[in-house]
Structures are given as C-alpha cells and as structure tokens.
Structure 1
C-alpha cells in the first residue's frame, strides 16, 4: 500500500540529489535506490472446528436418535430443523439442530460426527461447535447427570430444603423449596425447578443435581444473586470452585 508513495518520494529525492547532492546524506542514498518489494497478505483455507469435528461419546445404555426435520410453518423465514432425542438411565432430553448441521451416524466411526454445509460461513462455524457441546452435555446428563455445589460463606449463612414455602406458590405438585438465611430480615425461598434435585450435605453447602446442565446452572445463578461474593470480607455464595481476590480495606 505504501510502495507507490515511497517510489515517488525516492524519485523526488533522487532528482534533488542530482541537482543538489549535498542535500541528502551519503548514508541515506542506498535506502532510496534499493528496489521496493510489494508484499501481499497471506490467504489460507478456513480451518475446521476443533470441537465440532470431534465425535460424540455415547456410553452404553444411552440411545441417540435423530428425527427427520419437519417444517413448523409456511413462512419464508421458518427453516426446518431436525430433532435429536437422547434417552438414558436418568431421563430423556431432546434438542433441535439447525438445518445446516449434518449428523453422521456411521457405525464404523468412533461416534456420531457433526458437519456443516458451508464451513466458510461464520454463523455455521459458530453453531458447529455449539451444537456439538449441547449434544455432549445432554448425553452426559442422561447418563451421569450434572451437579453444582454452592458454598455459603458468612456468619450465620445457611441453607435448607423445605417441602413448603410461605412466600412463594408451588409451580407443580410436590415441588420443594430452597430456604436461604444469608443476612436478610425476611426469608429467601426459591422453588426448585422440575427435574432438579437439591440437598444439603452441610448447613453451609447446597448440592444441585439434574440431567440438564443449563437448568442446573441457571438455578445456581439465581441462588448466587442473593449474595454475590464481595471482595473485602470474602462473604457470599460461591458456585463450584469459584474464588475471589480480597482487596484492602478502605481507609479514610
């Protein structure tokens, strides 16, 4: 990009050196008389997704079924999407897969493999690995389950699982509630989502278990919102291995 401008500058200085040789130092002349090489940007072929191209690991006892796509409506923006049903010892989950994501279930492969129609499209490359991660999380959820451990750090902080609540209404029959005592004057009661199991191995520990990772972690985030970890005393509700760096106290 700078080659034409540099060439014009060199021509002007060369002409000036012929008329007035003393205007340019001798050590600067070779730099302007040397040929200017034009360098172009390198172009490489798009690389495949490292996560999306990895085969899915389906353990024994888990069924992996792909249902053919079906159109939901007649609109031009509505695209047909295939559905994947995953069934295991801990339950059954289903997820919709975009139409441009193909699932190869060849028995000769190590497991189901995903691919996209156009690997140069940014959206398809992004959803390639995302779809594969969702499918693998569902497979792990119905076979082993997902869990989240919440630690309540603070004086008097504790949690319990109660069959009834006084401040919220149950959303489905048999729903249990998490009762938090984290420094408020009123009770903090949260309904446990359907499919999630909560227990308290210790008064300051809350264990959440369920087949769907997204539901488990969203409920853990709701609980954490009531007492986010603060950096001065280190108090709050910590999820899994979460840590916080303590700050020095404010001295006026």
Structure 2
C-alpha cells in the first residue's frame, strides 16, 4: 500500500502542505558529513536527512535505541514543539527510526549560538566563572568554514564575505532569540537548565528557516536537581562512552 507523504505548495503567499499517495523515493546523495547524510527525493522541494552515528559502546543487551535513533526522535519532538510556537523550521516528518523528511533549503553558512550561562570558551574569553548566569542571553555568530576553524564573526564580516544579507542576519537572530526563550522554558519543565544552543539556518521560498537538526549534540544542558552536565560539544566529538547519559536525556526530552 502506498504511504501518504506531505508535499509543499504555496497558496496566496503562504507555504502549506498537501498530501499525496505517491511514495517519495530516495535518489542521489547530496551531502555526507560526520553525523548525517542528505539525499534528494522525488519531490524537488524536499530532502531526506539520515542520521548515521552510533555509540562507541553498545549495551550488553543491545536493547536501547542507537544514537541515530535518539537524534532523529529528539529533533522531531523539538521541531514540532517549535512549530507550535510558530517558530519556522524545515521539519516535515520523521520517516523511520533515523531519517527525517525536511524542506530542501539553501543553507546559510552562518550558525547562531545563544548562551544563557557562561561555559567553556566563553568563560576563557570573558573571564567568567563556569555556570555564571548571564543577565541577558548572548547571541554569537559563527562562520561555518572547516578550513579556518569556524571563527566567531559579526554582521559586517558576513556582509563583507557576501554570504548573507543584513535582513537575513536580523531575521536569524530574532528567530534564535525566540527559539531560545521557548527552549529554555521547555528544558526547565523537564528539569534542565539550557546552558547554550547551536542553530543553523537556510532559505526556502524566500523565507529564513531553522534547518539541520536539534538534538543533544546541538546544546548544553544541566540537570537542575543533580547538577549533571550534558555537553553537546563532547557528543559531537564522540568523546568517551556517553551512551547512558545520552539515552537518559533522550528519554526525558521526549517523554
């Protein structure tokens, strides 16, 4: 039996989803990174994102979800939650345990980091003690360029490099600030402090949307009761055996 999928159409200037009984087909690989693969689909306006990373150490009973499954489930849950607050993002649906169906965007090579507490390199740069709560969220821009190590930049750098516009930068920072407020409340209701988060953006039909994924690799959180830190920067680098804490965070965020 054919599976129903959502396709994107535009009606009176608004992006809406329509349904078809024609199953989407995966075609050529567009991009492969450390943790994800992106595939073209038979719908020219959407792609599949497949998470591919696994934990270095497996459970003895091998019952628990893989890292790829955790990443896909948390991303689905968070993007749907942001959608409920009208925060625009590219998510459409989760296809299976580790694959997402999303809008096909032209990615902007600038990430936005929002910080609520001082931690890591931020403490070194500004001489603050780790864990210091900031009186106002700090928004930082990161130029996504592997060859030069993802440097911090400001809006004038971005304009000089010609990779985005002043209007897009303002939109990205506005969306990031709202997403941070929503996610901070989301985390607190689940017993966590949102230390910081990393957001990526792209263009779809002239609009700026949050793209890529939002999962434990994308943020730092601290459990309020225990003080335990869940550090996305370590998860991204695959440092140590973190399966237990990663799956525990997955369970609490998607409950």
TM range (shorter): under 0.3
Where is the helix percentage greater, Structure 1 or Structure 2? 2
Give the strand-richer structure, 1 or 2.
Answer: 2
TM-score (norm 1): 0.24
TM superposition score normalised by structure 2? 0.24
Q: Which has the higher contact order (CA 8 A, sep 6+)?
A: 2
Larger Rg: 1
